Amino acid sequence: MDLAKITNSIKTIPGMGLGAPLIIVMILAMIVLPLPAFLLDLFFTFNIAFSLIILLVVIYSLKPLEFAVFPSVILIATLLRLALNVASTRIVLLEGHNGGDAAGKVIEAFGSFVIGGNFAVGLVVFAILVVINFVVVTKGAGRVAEVGARFTLDAMPGKQMAIDADLNSGLIDQDQARARRAEIAAEADFYGSMDGASKFVRGDAIAGIIILFVNIIGGLAIGVGQHGMSFANAGEVYVLLTIGDGLVAQIPALLLSTASAIVVTRVRGSEENVGQQVTAQLFNDPKSLLVTAAIMGLLGIIPGMPNLVFILLALVLLAGAYMVDQRHKKAQEKMLEQVAVPQQQERVKEIKELGWDDVMPVDVIGLEVGYRLIPLVDRNQGGQLITRIKGVRKKLSQELGFLVPSVHIRDNLDLSPTTYRISLMGVTVGEAEIRPEMEMAINPGQVFGSLEGEVTQDPAFGLEAIWIDRNQKDKAQTLGYTVVDPGTVVATHLSHILQLNAYELFGYEEAQNMMDNLAKSAPKLVEDLIPKTLALGILVKVLQNLLRETVSIRDIRTIAETLAEYAVKSQDPDILTSAVRAALGRSIVHEINGVQEEFAVITLEPELEQLLHQSLQTAGENGAGIEPGLAEQMHKSLEESAQKMEMEGQAAVLLVSSFIRPWLARFVRHSISELHVLAYNEIPEDRQIKVVSTVGQRT
């Protein structure tokens, strides 16, 4: 049973929703009704226990939103404490002349045992507690809550952009994106509430000071004026009871203030509670423990110092440093063993007789990582890269129309520790270095400030980026940067490379699987097409041509029907590709221009188009007969026109005849990647063409 089911089952337990109303009723009763001493002791004890529970829940929570009701709990706890102050004030002033325990055993214990029955000491202790609570903890927590609320709200647009980027790259689905957006909204609400709730804690500390002086003055007046006590006797009785009452209230207040400070000062996004963070970050380096032990040892041998205490502490620190060092060595040995075991297995195989099993096939898609990046792909160490790569494969498979092969991930000790390498068919096609302990802040084009960090480039698209510390993430998002973790950097780079080289991933097996799947719904079509009308190899070449020009092959039925019609006339893959593109024209145009009826395009002057047509007829599709100067001038004009359309927010499309379209598509494929080259017969009849630029022979 998961956590959500457990929570829902707990909510259905009878009486589980009565806790808060009962506390409210109890608060009103304490304010209005006189309470006997026993009930007052019970409520004081409950108040201390309640504050301890709140503090421990905060310490053991992994993130603030796990205790999202905390601002409301602060209000309830504050009202409970103030109601106790009212009830205790009433009983102290009414029954204080009868003795120390007339107001309850708890107040008497704090007034006599804790401060030794000395009201002067009690006043000093109470003043110190108030200073700690009001000046240090409460004031600091209030300031942090105020700043945290402001930065959380400022960072919301950047976080929303990061979610949209992950959704578009296939790292998350719609449900995950919706959950993350809801979490961001809840986080903003939480820190906004904490900003207001901190004022309750601050007001409670001020109220404690006022109540103390009011009780002392009122007690002296009642003791001397109504009960005929001497001033000294009244001061001893009522001041001690008031101090005890104040201490009983201030200790839970200090616990609650500490809990508030922990909530607003902890690092967001960590998967560890506060105790684990302190242990892992404060005592993780044996060097700091060794240096501290040496200093304590030196102080311990100085004459006149408490030698035993200093030397004992130095020995404890030495023991701690030794244990931490041993733990690091064991972890390193374990990592080396994981790397060494495959190598030992390889040595054992060398002894055996060689066979075909020793000839390892190349990986279709390979990802090699340096040893410092192993935690990114190790689920036991919290690595999420494998899950993200599966998301990339799923998204690309849905977009392209065929199953993208699995990614073979392995470590490579020959690489730099923080470098990864992407390969296709055993050939390296991408390599980059990342910082696994940092975050990459990518400049999407417009930011509103600078960041401190290591300047770099996004390996996927070459955008300007900076490696920053994780505690700068909120600031970077506030300034307009898109912040991604190292795993997302690798997954995005892999996704971009697979999109560009999708045609290399498609082969005979993929084509046969597509035909087998199509045969389930259209058996006659597949039976007549392969191999009666068209060889499987020609089908593979046509589909590769489409993928090379980023045309999805999801609509395999339309592709197969078009090939069945045109294959009886020609077996040329390029001619068949043009026919299939015309049949897929509606989806091609929709992918580029959406549902807009008006389609802005670039065209060639008729003279230039006729010249290219004649040159290609004479020299073939390689275009060798085209004058280099003309090609360079045409390339420059096309690039300028494409950039102009991109700046106007329109997709750059060049519309030409179907005969010269394949050559022009190859001509601009790598140099003007944002320019789409379409043929006239690929435009649906319901689209209106608007010529925004014409490229001529002369500029």
Whether the pLDDT of residue 454 is over 70: the answer is yes
For residue 204, give the amino acid letter.
D
Q: Given this model, what pLDDT does residue 498 score?
A: 92
Q: Is residue 454 part of a domain?
A: yes
**pLDDT band of 6, cuts 50, 70, 90:** very low
Q: Annotate 427-480 with DSSP letters as a single string.
A: EEEEEEE--TTSEEEE--S--SS---SEEEE-TTT--EEEEE-GGGHHHHHHTT
Q: How far apart are CA 374 and CA 383, in angstroms?
A: 8
Q: Is residue 538 part of a domain?
A: yes
Whether the pLDDT of residue 131 is over 50: the answer is yes
Whether residues 105 and 50 share a domain: the answer is: yes
Q: Which domain holds residue 534?
A: 506-570
Stretch 310-332: mean pLDDT:
80
Most confident of 111-125, 205-219, 373-387, 609-623: 373-387
Stretch 486-499: mean pLDDT:
92
Q: Which two tokens stand for residue 447?
A: 């930011």
Q: Given this model, what pLDDT does residue 619 score?
A: 64
Residue with tokens 């499309």: 653
From 467, 473, 465, select the one nearest 445 (Cα to Cα). Answer: 465
Between 177 and 415, the higher pLDDT residue: 415
Q: Given this model, what pLDDT does residue 577 score?
A: 92
Q: How far apart are CA 102 and CA 107, in angstroms?
A: 9
Residue with tokens 């041998």: 301
Between 18 and 375, the higher pLDDT residue: 375
Whether residues 666 and 698 share a domain: the answer is: yes
Q: Given this model, what pLDDT does residue 311 score?
A: 83
Please answer whether residues 454 and 467 qualify as being in contact, where contact means their C-beta atoms are separated by less than 8 angstroms. Answer: yes
Q: Given this model, what pLDDT does residue 10 score?
A: 39
From 98, 94, 114, select the one nearest 106 (Cα to Cα). Answer: 114
Q: Given this model, what pLDDT does residue 2 score?
A: 43
What's the mean per-residue pLDDT of the chain? 80
Most confident of 124-128, 155-159, 689-693: 689-693
**pLDDT band of 420, cuts 50, 70, 90:** very high
pTM over 0.75? The answer is no
Please answer whether residues 684 and 663 qualify as being in contact, where contact means their C-beta atoms are separated by less than 8 angstroms. Answer: no
Q: Which residues pair with 484 in a beta bridge?
A: 440
Q: How far apart are CA 130 and CA 128, in angstroms?
A: 5
Q: Is residue 377 part of a domain?
A: yes
Q: Given this model, what pLDDT does residue 12 score?
A: 43
Q: Which two tokens stand for residue 562?
A: 């078009």
Whether the pLDDT of residue 352 is over 60: the answer is no
Q: Is residue 355 part of a domain?
A: no
Whether residues 131 and 215 share a domain: the answer is: yes
Whether the pLDDT of residue 594 is over 90: the answer is no
Q: Given this model, what pLDDT does residue 431 score?
A: 93
Q: What confidence tens digit (pLDDT) does each residue in 173-212 have?
A: 778 888 888 877 777 777 677 766 667 767 777 777 787 7
Please answer whether residues 484 and 439 qualify as being in contact, where contact means their C-beta atoms are separated by less than 8 angstroms. Answer: yes
Whether the pLDDT of residue 284 is over 80: the answer is no
Q: Is residue 443 part of a domain?
A: yes
Whether residues 412 and 541 share a domain: the answer is: no
Whether the pLDDT of residue 408 is over 70: the answer is yes
Between 455 and 60, the higher pLDDT residue: 455
Whether residues 610 and 683 share a domain: the answer is: yes
Between 103 and 398, the higher pLDDT residue: 398
Q: Annotate 532-566 with DSSP letters as a single string.
A: IIS-HHHHHHHHHHHHHTT-----HHHHHHHHHHH
Whether residues 401 and 534 share a domain: the answer is: no
**pLDDT band of 145, cuts 50, 70, 90:** low
Residue 469's CATH number: 3.40.30.60
Residue 689 Cα distances to 263, 625, 686, angstroms? 59, 31, 10
Q: Given this model, what pLDDT does residue 282 score?
A: 64
Contacts of 670 by beta carbon, 8 Å cutoff, 6+ apart: none
Stretch 222-236: mean pLDDT:
74
Q: What is the dihedral of CA 636, 642, 645, 647, to 10 degrees?
A: -80
Q: What percent of the chain has pLDDT over 90?
A: 18
From 607, 683, 692, select the one nearest 649 (Cα to Cα). Answer: 692
Please answer whether residues 241 and 218 qualify as being in contact, where contact means their C-beta atoms are separated by less than 8 angstroms. Answer: no
Q: Which residues pair with 433 in a beta bridge?
A: 419
**pLDDT band of 151, cuts 50, 70, 90:** low
Residue 596 DSSP symbol: -
**Strand pairing category for 427-433 and 419-424:** antiparallel
Between 326 and 398, the higher pLDDT residue: 398
Stretch 492-520: mean pLDDT:
91
Whether residues 124 and 254 share a domain: the answer is: yes
Contacts of 358 by beta carbon, 8 Å cutoff, 6+ apart: 349
Q: Given this model, what pLDDT does residue 97 score?
A: 66
Q: How far apart are CA 490 and CA 496, in angstroms?
A: 10
Residue 111 DSSP symbol: I
**pLDDT band of 347, cuts 50, 70, 90:** low
Whether residues 499 and 510 share a domain: the answer is: no
> Which is it for the CA torsion 180, 185, 186, 188, positive or negative?
positive
Whether residues 236 and 91 share a domain: the answer is: yes
Q: Is residue 491 part of a domain?
A: yes
Whether residues 524 and 465 share a domain: the answer is: no
Between 604 and 31, the higher pLDDT residue: 604
Q: What confidence tens digit (pLDDT) does each residue in 524-543 have?
A: 999 888 888 889 999 999 99
Q: How far apart are CA 152 and CA 143, in angstroms?
A: 14
Whether residues 245 and 140 share a domain: the answer is: yes
Q: Is residue 694 part of a domain?
A: yes
Whether residues 602 and 563 share a domain: the answer is: no
Buried b / exposed e along 176-198 (16+ C-beta atoms within 10 A)? ebeebeeebeebbebbbbbbebb
Whether the pLDDT of residue 557 is over 90: the answer is yes
- Ranges 444-458, 547-561, 615-629: which has the least confidence: 615-629
Between 399 and 24, the higher pLDDT residue: 399
Between 498 and 2, the higher pLDDT residue: 498
**pLDDT band of 3, cuts 50, 70, 90:** very low
From 239, 230, 263, 164, select the one nearest 477 (Cα to Cα). Answer: 164
Residue that finishes a domain, picked among 246, 270, 294 = 270
Count the residues in the chain: 699
Q: Where are the alpha helices (DSSP H) in 226-306?
A: 231-265, 274-282, 286-300
Residue with tokens 């409670």: 204
From 149, 132, 20, select the one nearest 77 (Cα to Cα). Answer: 20
Residue 306 DSSP symbol: -
Residue 696's CATH number: 3.40.50.12790
Stretch 432-440: mean pLDDT:
92
Stretch 237-259: mean pLDDT:
77
Number of domains in the chain: 5
Residue 523's CATH number: 1.10.8.540
Q: Is residue 16 part of a domain?
A: no
Q: Which two tokens stand for residue 544?
A: 């590769």
Q: Given this model, what pLDDT does residue 546 score?
A: 92
Stretch 363-382: mean pLDDT:
85
